[in-house]
């Protein structure tokens, strides 16, 4: 087979988008994402920054055009800016976009350098503008630090998209404040439906579940919503608020079927390639990375895995409980 043939899965979906988790660690302990006292992986299990670079480079060689770095919190990994700089050599030469998802806590330190090496946009997770609620949700996070980080990113010329997890009884009362703030600050805003990740207690999870259909209906009560045709290959759908011109996204992995156009795969910080966020099947890329300095075995493993990419996920919130619940934490797979 042609070593450079692009990655196409069995359902004719080209794989052009890779999300890579570079650490399972984080300086926050968001309630929906981690237990307060997490057991983190031994350092030797993690891919080194050099291995991560080889891995990303191999995927780019196989047709990946968009790379999103995530975690854990990517910006707490030591040396991560050197990794960003390395990978940025592919921008304009195979890679169209290099981006990251962050909790924003380290952006004051790193925003200018990220912009300088060619990052154009960052996703910052921010569920509330209330300092007390923020501290309660993130356990260890402090809102002013994140707001400073967002301002630093904007000042550096980065576009900031805010991701907010919709949490019943937590930020439902703040819906319009969040929308207004994002409008004033010129940030796009996407709401994420809470997903059954990790073992954080089924009852709590169902308690927090705020369906985005309800959120959307509330928005429609105040604004004129126009559906936008934009598709990212992921679970996000967008509307425009006609009164303000704002774009609002909805990520509803549980209530919508977005799998037909899925163009993405994920790699964990230990080198497991997950072909679907909602399925357990994965391929170990660390072994071929470590077995040889030559990338042939790595590429073959990637191709064989893509050939098993499933048609779709199995998430389902039933009336009684949660079906398709994943045992791994979001910080492991990378959001």
Residues near ligand SAM (CB under 6 A) are 26, 32-33, 70-71, 73, 101-103, 125, 163, 165, 192, 194-195, 197, 330-331, 335
Partner touching 149 among ligand SF4, ligand SAM, none, CB below 5 to 8 Å by kind: none
Which residues inside 87-146 make contact with ligand SF4, applying CB under 6 A? 103, 125, 138
- 34 near ligand SF4 (CB under 6 A): yes
> Judged by CB, which is closer to ligand SAM: 94, or 324?
324
Q: How far is CA 10 from CA 154, 162, 272, 306, 309, in A?
A: 41, 34, 20, 8, 7
> Judged by CB, which is closer to ligand SAM: 299, or 333?
333
> Judged by CB, which is closer to ligand SF4: 241, or 254?
254
> Judged by CB, which is closer to ligand SAM: 167, or 298?
167
Helical axes 80-87 vs 49-61, angle rounded to 10°: 20
The Cα 267–Cα 22 span in angstroms is 9
The backbone region for 83, taken as left when phi is positive above 0, alpha when psi lies in -120 to 50, beta otherwise, is: alpha
- 28 near ligand SF4 (CB under 6 A): yes
Question: Which of 20, 26, 164, 170: binder of ligand SF4 (CB under 6 A)?
Answer: 26
> Judged by CB, which is closer to ligand SF4: 32, or 84?
32
Partner touching 7 among ligand SAM, ligand SF4, none, CB below 5 to 8 Å by kind: none
Contacts of the segment 233-239: beta carbons below 8 A, 24+ positions apart: 233/16, 233/17, 233/261, 233/262, 233/263, 233/264, 234/17, 234/258, 234/262, 234/263, 234/264, 236/190
Partner touching 265 among ligand SAM, ligand SF4, none, CB below 5 to 8 Å by kind: none
- 328 near ligand SF4 (CB under 6 A): no
Q: How far is CA 254 from CA 74, 206, 235, 246, 266, in A?
A: 26, 13, 9, 25, 18
Partner touching 256 among ligand SF4, ligand SAM, none, CB below 5 to 8 Å by kind: none
Q: How far is CA 127 from CA 97, 162, 181, 190, 260, in A?
A: 25, 9, 12, 10, 29
Positions touching ligand SF4 (CB under 6 A) are 26, 28-30, 33-34, 71-73, 103, 125, 138, 330-331
């Amino acid at each position: 087979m042609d070593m450079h043939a692009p990655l196409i899965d069995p359902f004719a979906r080209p794989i052009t988008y890779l999300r890579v988790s570079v650490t399972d660690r984080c300086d926050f302990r968001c309630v929906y994402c981690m237990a307060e006292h997490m057991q983190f992986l031994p350092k030797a299990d993690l891919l080194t920054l050099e291995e991560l670079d080889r891995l990303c480079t191999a995927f780019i060689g196989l047709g990946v055009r968009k790379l999103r770095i995530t975690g854990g919190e990517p910006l707490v990994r030591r040396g991560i800016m050197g990794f960003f700089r390395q990978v940025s050599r592919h921008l304009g030469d195979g890679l169209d976009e290099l981006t990251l998802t962050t909790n924003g806590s380290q952006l004051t330190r790193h925003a200018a350098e990220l912009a300088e090496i060619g990052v154009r946009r960052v996703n910052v997770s921010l569920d509330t503008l209330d300092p007390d609620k923020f501290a309660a949700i993130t356990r260890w996070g402090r809102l002013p630090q994140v707001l400073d980080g967002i301002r630093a990113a904007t000042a550096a010329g980065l576009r900031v998209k805010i991701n907010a997890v919709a949490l019943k009884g937590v930020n439902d009362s703040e819906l319009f404040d969040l929308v207004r703030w994002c409008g004033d600050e010129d940030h796009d805003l996407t709401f994420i439906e809470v997903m059954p990740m990790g073992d954080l207690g089924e009852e709590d999870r169902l308690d927090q579940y705020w369906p985005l259909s309800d959120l959307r209906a509330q928005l429609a009560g105040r604004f004129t919503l126009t559906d936008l045709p934009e598709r990212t290959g992921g679970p996000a759908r967008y509307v425009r608020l006609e009164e303000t011109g704002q774009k609002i996204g909805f990520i509803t992995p549980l209530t919508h079927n977005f799998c037909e156009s899925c163009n993405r795969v994920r790699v964990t910080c230990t080198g497991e390639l997950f072909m679907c966020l909602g399925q357990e099947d994965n391929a170990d890329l660390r072994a071929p990375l470590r077995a040889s300095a030559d990338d042939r075995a790595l590429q073959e493993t990637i191709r064989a895995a893509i050939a098993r990419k499933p048609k779709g996920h199995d998430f389902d919130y039933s009336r009684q409980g949660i079906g398709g619940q994943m045992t791994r934490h979001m910080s492991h797979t990378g959001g």
